[in-house]
Structures are given as structure tokens and as C-alpha cells.
Amino acid sequence: MASAAVGSLRGSIRRAALRTAPRSPVVQASFRRAYSNGPGAEQAKGTSPFVWAGVAAAVGGGAYYWLKSGDANPTIAKIEEATGGKGGTRSYQQVYNDIAEILDADEYDDGSFGPVLVRLAWHSSGTYDKDEKTGGSNYATMRFKPESEHGANNGLKIARDLLEEKIKSKYPWISYGDLWTLAGVVAVQEMGGPKIPWRPGRIDGTDKNVTPDGRLPDASQAEDHLRQIFYRMGLNDQEIVALAGAHALGRCHTDRSGFEGPWTFSPTTFTNDFFKLLFDEKWQYKNWKGPKQFEDASTKSLMMLPTDIALIKDKSFRKYAKAYADDQDLFFKDFAAAFGKLIELGVPLEQFASKPPTFLKTTEEQADEKKAAEKK
């Protein structure tokens, strides 16, 4: 009880600090392209049947699924929430709010599960292969071995178990892919970051859909490796650098990646500090028995990975990194677009409940609306 009270108070203080800190304007860019990149109605025969979790209507008029007839393997073409109109806006907003409530955790890392939830959303989406049309966020295959045990996913069982216990048990109708990506959106927005476009429609696959190891970045590598990984997903240099800005959050752990330490002095607040520190600090090799990583010369308390340093060594990457270091609003805008694209990789367009994506309200925005309504 005492721990919960401290965590709640800590969360209130952090959110109050965010309200008084300068923030980028709400990012609501026009998304002209369809984010779907995976197979839709024309899936090859022989693909394993999907796990239709929550096909029956949920209590209180929950989700219902319209299955496209005539396909060898039916895919979801439309999802609507009876309680929230098209796209289930109200219902998913409630899921958002409940996820926001579990972010602050006095016992975990720097006091927040936010960074590990962002990592879960990113790693569950970043397995997409645009040529093979496999991977991505659609089937939530990290639930199964061997993908759940891939080295790049070390530590993410914490995030998966947290969402299973606190959220999925309460909202059994939401797919794991939707839950994991929504949790990443919540974390970014509630930690002071930009508004991220999101919409439901991912479905749960089986272990037959598991992707091979090696599709996520190896932090010990350099720019050529980054391009190989991200180009395979269909992303470009600017999007690679923008997504790297999420390293403003969280820290590395020796028992997970082998690396150790945070990237910034405020690892639970989303800012452009990652880019500013890349240019403002002098980075030197860390003298230790672990893998090659860098530390700041001034305090020796921060770290950078070889793939991070590649962002300022490579000419193309560097120009974007410098632009983001100089302009947080630009970084927020480009990150929102790149992250919104990332978490839709591999999802057929016809599965989405809303077109284009929507922007769910932060808890701060909802509180402000409530105050304004009370004054009327």
C-alpha cells in the first residue's frame, strides 16, 4: 500500500512537471499514405489459421469482427466498438487511460515502465520484411518461442506480463498487437512526447507466424547494419534517425543487452536530449569488461551505443541528427510520423477500423477538458 501510494504521488509530481515544461505542439500530421504493408485478402494458401481472440461481442457492446468471405484465410476487414462509434474511440481511450495508470512504478528502473513499453511496441513491429511480406505488428508473434527468446527481446517479458496482468485481463477483446502498440503510444505521449497516430485492427496469429532471429538492430554494429535492417522494413535514413531519438528514454542492462546505463539525464521524459548530448558531449570508449560502448567524458554516467555514434559519423545520418538536436519540434513531428508508420508495418489496410489513424487524448488533455467543462 505504501509503495503504491509513493508511486502514485511520484507520478502526480512527474505529470505536474511535464505540464509546466515547454512542450512541442500537438502533432497531427496528414498521413496520406496507407501504412499497410503485409498480405491482405490475397494471402497465399497454406498460411496457418489465425487465433480469433474475442470473436464474440464483448460485455457492454464490445468489439465485433466482420470476416471477409471467400478468402482461403479470412482477415479482419473492419472493427468497430459499439460503445464508441467507428473505430471504438471511447473504448480504446479507456484502455489508453488504464495503461497510463500503470506507467509509474517506484520499484522499476527509473520509476517508470514507460521506456520498456516503447521498446515492446518497437520490437514487436520492427521484424517486418517488405519483400517477404512477413513480420511486423500484425500477429504479435513475440508471444511464442523462439521469438520471445531472441536476444534482442531480452527483458521484454516484463512488459508483456505487465500488460497481460493489468490490461489484457480487463479488456480480453483487444488483440495483443493492438495492445502492445497502443502501450507504446501511451508511453510516448504520457512521458511528454508527441501525439502518435494509432488505430486498432491487428490480429493475433500463431507460432507458425514467428519471424527468424536477426531482424532487429544489433547495437554493436554501425551505419551499414542500420541501413540493412531498416531498409528491409521500407524505412529511409531520416526515419532511422528519428526513431533512434527514442533513446532519450530508458537505459541498457547488462543482464539483457550486455550494455549498461542511460542515454540521458532524464530517462523517463521524452525530449530531443539524446541528439543534443550526441553533439554537446565528448564521447569516449568505456573502460570495462563489457561490450564496446561509449561514455560521456564529463560525468561518465551516460552511455552511447556504437549504432548511436554512427548517427553523427555518417554524413546522411548526421544532418538529420543535427537538425533534431537544434529543433525539438521538428524531431517530435518526424518521430510521430516514423513511429506511427513503424507500428503499422505488416498490417493489411482493410483490417484497420479507422482510416486515417486517430490521436488518442493524453490524461493531461482529458483533465484540462474536464476542468473547462466544470467552469461552464
Catalytic residues: 123, 263
Dist CA 325 CA 272 (whole Å): 6
Other beta carbons less than 10 A from residue 19's beta carbon: 12
Give the H/E segment covering residue 16: helix 2-20
Q: What is the DSSP letter of 281?
A: S
Q: Which helix (H) or strand (E) holds 186?
A: helix 176-190
The secondary structure of residue 204, as a DSSP letter, is B
For residue 12, what are the CA distances in angstroms to 15, 19, 103, 213, 274? 5, 11, 11, 40, 25
**How far is the C-alpha of 324 from the C-alpha of 302, rounded, in Å?**
19
Q: Listing from the earlier edge strand, what are the strands of the sheet with 283-285? A: 283-285, 294-296, 303-304
Cross-sheet strand order for the sheet of 85-86: 63-67, 76-81, 85-86
Name the grid cell of 121. 511496441
Q: Three cell numbers at 16?
A: 505536474
- Ramachandran angles phi, psi of 80, nearest 5°: -135, 145
CA gap 162, 311 in Å, rounded: 33
124 secondary structure, DSSP code: H
How many Cβ atoms are within 10 Å of 282's Cβ, its own excluded?
9
Query: Within 10 A of 196 (CB to CB), how many other CB atoms are there?
Result: 26
CB atoms within 10 A of CB 173: 22
